[in-house]
Structure 1
Amino acid sequence: MSNVDAQFEQAQVDVKALSEKPGNMTLLRLYALFKQATEGDVHGDKPGFADIVGKYKYDAWASLKGTGQDVAKQQYTELVESLKNGTAS
């Protein structure tokens, strides 16, 4: 297991232990980075108008198209660290 993979796995544990729930935009970013890191580029049909949350999630993930999985893992880890330290914007 690479160092990036180990840090990514630890970040997944750490994010569940945050003292405060992140805001919706940060949650979308975490979701998109996680999906990009674990599954690669977005796939499947975009949810319809009635599924607002699904549409936002899809769009957030699609915005990372072309981002390498290791890069997404690193960005996810960095975002979780900034949330832990209280420095996330």
Structure 2
Amino acid sequence: MSNVDALFAQAQVDVKELPEKPGNMTLLRLYALFKQATDGDVHGDKPGFADIVGKYKYDAWAALKGTPQDKAKEQYVELVESLKNGTAS
């Protein structure tokens, strides 16, 4: 397991132990980075009008298209660290 993979795995544990739940935009960013890191570029059909949450998730993930998986892992780790330290914007 590479260092980035180990840090990514630890960040997945840490995010579940945050003292307070992040806001919706931050949760979307975490979701998108996680999906990009684990599945690569977005795939499948975009959810329809009735599935608003699914549409936002799809759009957030699609915005990261082309981002290498290791880079997405690094960004996920950085975001979780900033949430733990209370420095996330």
Task: Give the structure-2-normalised TM-score.
Answer: 1.00
1:69 aligns with 2:78: no
Provide structure 2 residue ranges, at least 5 long, that are not aligned to the other structure. Answer: none
Which residue number in structure 2 is paired with residue 48 of structure 1? 48
Which residue number in structure 1 is paired with residue 36 of structure 2? 36
RMSD: 0.1
SS at match of 2:67: coil
Show the 5 A alignment for 1:14-29: 14-29=14-29
Q: Distance in 1 between matches of 2:5 and 2:71?
A: 11
- For residues 29-48 of structure 1, the C-alpha deviation after alignment (integer angstroms, 9 at most, x for no partner) is 00000000000000000000
The sequence identity of aligned pairs, in percent, is: 89
SS at match of 2:80: helix
Which residue number in structure 2 is paired with residue 11 of structure 1? 11
Q: Distance in 2 between matches of 1:23 and 1:17?
A: 15
Question: Paired residues, what number?
Answer: 89
Q: Which amino acid aligns with 1:23?
A: G
Q: Which amino acid aligns with 1:59?
A: D
- For residues 6-35 of structure 1, the C-alpha deviation after alignment (integer angstroms, 9 at most, x for no partner) is 000000000000000000000000000000
Task: Give the structure-1-normalised TM-score.
Answer: 1.00
Moved over 2 A (4+): none
Provide structure 1 residue ranges, at least 5 long, that are not aligned to the other structure. Answer: none
